[in-house]
Chain A
């Protein structure tokens, strides 16, 4: 590190420290050998993204950009959904992707069953319009409704530990939401299968009720209660 500092001062101008590492550098710094050098980029199948690139000047440069092989879960099907794939991975245990997919498909089956029953029992058009029957929409909506905005972080000041409210990153928030949802669905001691439990939890969350929503709201209440300590985040 000392030599590094020497070199930077010797040069006469300093490199800003927050500049991101280039791909070439990453490949040097990676300690494990990978099958593909770091300059390989993730593949793009989305037609909209490709169209954007085509219109911009970047497309010419893509000629020189090598691409990683498409992973086994990626395809260009009209039914493909990135979020659904991500959710399946959370459901998966022990590398059993096939089972995870089947469970999610059964969950969707159950959701449709419940929602269609409500739909056909509804009497007016307006009631029917309110009922969402698309399981994918319900899944996305449910997880979105359960994502927390703030979380608490333990900070010790003067011997005592305070719960300091802290904004949570998007990715982390989504992770928490999915984790809570699956925890609620996998409740121990329950003889009910995951698809049935999960479908009910998802529908509840979609409607803004249920255990998982409550968990998020409790967290938010805790953050609200501890707003006095918010400044501990920085001091």
Chain B
């Protein structure tokens, strides 16, 4: 599927009111005559301007931005459905995201990349914090290498074949080409930079060659067109990007939701001997690992570790050291661990009011003080649990 190319100037891009077919039309607040005015909203749509004073407030991401950044991955399916129901994509401004955005703004790009790892119990809001951060990176014209859910390449892959280019490795076909489309859509503007060209020749097959000096988009297009070589394309593309970042031609941000899944367990693909192929033999997985090391500069790394991304026998703790395993720890160390915790009282109130405002919490008792107290107790104050409770009321 070819995505439409938006050739618009930056100012009109973010402020236009284009109606997209995927998401319903933007509904202004005037339409909701009984909206709960207690929902703290901010009209600041640019994450750079969010400060600690805005914590607990909701801000809206324009549909075009959502389409650009998260068409393929990045928002969990159940949340995506909710954004369709609510007619908007709003995120609560919370402390972890604000901190990371601040650190990124102040990062020195002439030294090896700063690494920020979000950690916390399942259902605390790590993925949505990453959403906020990616929005910021996009607004600030960073090149984003984003992987929303690496676990699906290990267990829910569409097709894996023995690699056409590497001995002993295995390639994803459809998954890799979809990722290339995702990358292209996210970084469309960045890729228009004429300086971003390949640094060497790429001989995919005897006849198919991408010569040195061709724009990076040619690798991407080749990978999209020829999914057999898509994984290899991803590998080489990321290598190129790393080199360009090193030489200062772009700011590279590597954002992976579930970094620990790259290092733990094995894939569900069996080789000819009926053994499960380990993760380090999958080209697509191996493509991202060089970017997580500290041997380059000109970028940042933001990731999250989650207990659900780990294998079932390795779920005793939610802490990064445990979840990353030795290999991951040695690659990523040193990093800044950012705790994502359950809602504070103010944030909880804001969340419940938002659900009331969107008419998602229908039960009349939900608006009462007792009802909110009960929801907080039953969910333990966790954002994920609150959503589960509100879904059924």
Chain A contact residues, CB within 8 Å of chain B: 77-79, 104-106, 108-109, 112-113, 116-117, 119-120, 125, 133-136
B165-192 interface with A by 8 A CB criterion:
none
User: A135 near B362 (CB under 8 angstroms)?
Assistant: yes
User: A119 near B359 (CB under 8 angstroms)?
Assistant: yes
User: A79 near B363 (CB under 8 angstroms)?
Assistant: yes
Chain B residues lying within 8 Å of A117, measured Cβ to Cβ, are 85
A219–B368 Cα distance when bound, in Å, is 43
Q: A79-B393, A104-B392, A109-B391 are in contact. Are A134 and B363 (CB under 8 A)?
A: yes
Number of interface residues of B (CB under 8 A): 21
A112–B82 Cα distance when bound, in Å, is 11
A136 in complex: contacting residue of B360, B363, B370, CB < 8 Å: B363
Q: A77-B374, A78-B374, A112-B360 are known contacts; what are 5 more A-B pairs with Cβ within 8 Å?
A: A79-B374, A109-B392, A116-B360, A120-B31, A125-B33
User: A116 near B359 (CB under 8 angstroms)?
Assistant: yes
Closest chain A CB from B28 CB (angstroms): 12
Chain B residues lying within 8 Å of A113, measured Cβ to Cβ, are 81, 85
Chain A residues lying within 8 Å of B27, measured Cβ to Cβ, are 120
User: A133 near B359 (CB under 8 angstroms)?
Assistant: yes
User: A134 near B392 (CB under 8 angstroms)?
Assistant: no
User: A105 near B391 (CB under 8 angstroms)?
Assistant: yes
Q: A77-B374, A78-B368, A112-B362 are in contact. Are A120 and B392 (CB under 8 A)?
A: no
The residue of chain A having its C-beta at the shortest distance from the C-beta of B24 within the complex is A120
Chain A residues lying within 8 Å of B391, measured Cβ to Cβ, are 105-106, 108-109
The 5 closest A-B pairs by CB, nearest first: A105-B392, A78-B365, A134-B362, A109-B391, A78-B371
Q: Mask for B17-30, Cβ within 8 A of A = 1, else 0?
A: 00000001001000
Check: B121 CB closer than 8 A to any chain A CB. Answer: no
The residue of chain A having its C-beta at the shortest distance from the C-beta of B362 within the complex is A134
B30-49 interface with A by 8 A CB criterion:
31, 33
Check: B268 CB closer than 8 A to any chain A CB. Answer: no
A112–B362 Cα distance when bound, in Å, is 8
Chain A residues lying within 8 Å of B368, measured Cβ to Cβ, are 78
Chain B residues lying within 8 Å of A79, measured Cβ to Cβ, are 363, 365-366, 371, 374, 393
